[in-house]
Amino acid sequence: MPRTADHDQRRRQIADAVCTLISGHGLDAVTVARTAATAGMSVGLVQHYFRSKDEMLLHAFQEVTARIRARAEDRIRAGIEHRQPISWVLAGALAEFVPLDERRRTEFRVTTAFAGRALDAPALAEVDVATARRLREDIARAVHNGKECGEVDPGLDPWPAAVRLAAVTEGLAMQVHRDPAGMNGVPAAELTASIIRAELAVVFTGECRQYAGMSGS
């Protein structure tokens, strides 16, 4: 009987506006009024879809992390279809987190801003922790699968390796964020590629003798 609208689409629209504002002027510049204006709607409508500002921010955070994760998974799926070695696929997926172009830069700014606020906002912190854990699990699974393909030494424990790879990726993202032009004459993209490659070479020591696979437990 009632008038109807696409709830999820509206909420995504608002989340987009939040991200635009954060990326452009920082998390402190995000007010409900400004978000509504950016999204092209009224303050009241934003309130209609989110009980409070905190709820709105939480949803935006979940939205952006989900989007990044989806991109990484797409890359992995594509790599598998093209029968690339796992280490290649993983290198590409990890590079998704390093702010090397405008899109990734925007995402990095948004997630970093949220991570900063997560320091004293348990709901945001939970998203942050869960996201990081999932990434580690994905990496560990890739390493595990690498064993079956002969790319990884069967005796290697995937977990410390996953923590390590997640750490370099995240740290590298910070470095590139601070010096987008690169360091000591080396462009950021090359630096990133070489460091990730080197780091993966420590784990993926064997040749690939099967096609790549990332799925399965």
Partner DNA sequence: CGGATAACCATATGGCCATACGGTTTTTAC
Partner DNA sequence: GTAAAAACCGTATGGCCATATGGTTATCCG
**Interface with DNA (CB under 7 A):** 1-5, 7, 10, 30-34, 41-45, 47-48, 52-54
* Contacted entry of DNA, its own copies, none for residue 10, CB cut-off 5 to 8 Å set by kind: DNA
* Contacted entry of its own copies, DNA, none for residue 183, CB cut-off 5 to 8 Å set by kind: its own copies
168: contact with its own copies by CB under 8 A: yes
- Which bin fits 169, alpha (ψ -120 to 50), beta or left (φ > 0)? alpha
Phi, psi torsion values for 67, nearest 5 degrees: -65, -45
* Contacted entry of its own copies, DNA, none for residue 25, CB cut-off 5 to 8 Å set by kind: its own copies
Give the binding range for its own copies (CB under 8 A) out of 70-78, 86-94, 120-128, 209-217: 120-128
- The secondary structure of 72-128 as a DSSP string is HHHHHHHHHHTT--HHHHHHHHHHTTS--SHHHHHHHHHHHHHHHHGGG-HHHHHHH
Cα separation, 79 vs 93, in Å, equals 10
Q: How far is the CB of 155 from its own copies (least distance, A)?
A: 15
* Secondary structure E strands in 97-173: none
The 10 Å Cβ neighbour count of residue 70 is 10
18: which 2 tokens? 């939040």
41: contact with its own copies by CB under 8 A: no
Task: Name the residues that contact its own copies, by CB under 8 A.
Answer: 25-29, 109, 112-113, 115-117, 119-121, 125, 128-129, 132-133, 136, 159-160, 163-164, 166-172, 174-175, 178-179, 183-184, 186, 191, 194-195, 198-199, 202
